[in-house]
Amino acid sequence: MVSADTSFDGIAGAFESEIYGSSKGYIRLRVLWEDMLGAIPGLTAGGLDVLDAGGGAGHLAIRLAGLGHRVVLCDASREMLDRAQAAARAQGVAGAMTIVQAPIQDLRGLLDRRFDLVVCHAVLEWLADPGAAIPELAALLRPAGTLSLMFYNRNASVLKRALTGAIAEALHSYRDGFAPRGWGAGATPLAEESVRGWLEACGLIVQSKAGIRIFHDHVPAAARQPERLDELLALELALRGAEPFASLGQHIHLVCTPRPVRTVAG
């Protein structure tokens, strides 16, 4: 586990280009968005109070604001938030977004409110103590709210390394977690059972699960070319919730709601 949370100040532009300017970013965003639309009640109707915790350059926040939701976008990186503000202005949704520079650990003290929807995507794996973030997110939910949580999946880390011949690294990733090279230098893949345990301890119930980017990283390069991306996307969308495929996605997307409070009749 890394000793400190990862900051993207100084590398935001390169990171954005690598992730969202590529076929993997296209597949990730499209599959995640379709899964959110299908799994989160009221998302298409607008009018929700939404917190995008660790939302970076605002790709999801801007989409949510475009649907008519009131969005608070937070991130620890000023550089990422500057990019989000510029993009929001360019797309005419800046008035529906509030920008807060803060890590997840500080949000409860800064935001004197709760939300209908809390979004936290591809953030836990960059934190020194990912389990500690879940109570913070849960505390920001309204009683009938929804948490949309996506995290880097340990199973995908193991499979990818094995398929490239890095057998010892694959075993290390499975046993101990493993910080891969490249953009994952500060990321720790997480076991789904660990994340589910943290959610359960906070009184959150998983309502749906999807694998995000299951096949993209394993198909030949020719299948990732622009002329074939729609074909690949159709496969990713069709099998995102089907096991064993869902458990092999690069990321796992869990949609959760608070456990109903039981009342005792007097």
d(CA 57, CA 1) in angstroms, rounded, equals: 25
Q: What is the pLDDT of residue 172?
A: 80
Provide the pLDDT for residue 18.
60
Residue-level pLDDT, tens digit, the chain, 266 residues = 334 666 655 555 555 656 667 899 999 999 999 999 999 989 999 999 999 999 999 999 999 999 999 999 999 999 999 999 999 999 999 999 999 999 999 999 999 899 999 999 999 999 999 999 999 999 999 999 999 999 999 999 999 889 989 898 888 878 776 554 444 456 889 999 999 999 999 999 999 999 999 999 999 999 999 999 999 999 999 999 999 999 999 999 999 999 987 756 55
Give the pLDDT of residue 185. 55
- This model's pTM is above 0.85: yes
- What is d(CA 200, CA 175) in angstroms, rounded to the nearest whole number? 23
What count of other Cβ atoms lies within 10 Å of the Cβ of residue 48?
21
State the burial class of residue 126 (Cβ atoms within 10 Å of its Cβ: 0-12, 13-18, 19+): buried
Predicted pLDDT of residue 19: 65
CB 135 within 8 A of CB 99: no
pLDDT at 5: 63
In sequence order, what DSSP letters do the residues of 203-260 get, joined into one string?
TEEEEEEEEESSSGGGS-GGGGSGGGHHHHHHHHHHHTTSTTGGGGSSEEEEEEEEPP
At residue 230, the pLDDT reads 95
Burial of 76 (0-12, 13-18, 19+ CB in 10 A): buried
Identify residue 221 by its one-letter amino acid code. A
Angstrom distance (rounded) from CA 1 to CA 266? 49
What does the pLDDT read at residue 27? Answer: 95
Name the packing angle between helices 78-90 and 12-20 (round to 10°): 60
The pLDDT assigned to 252 comes to: 98
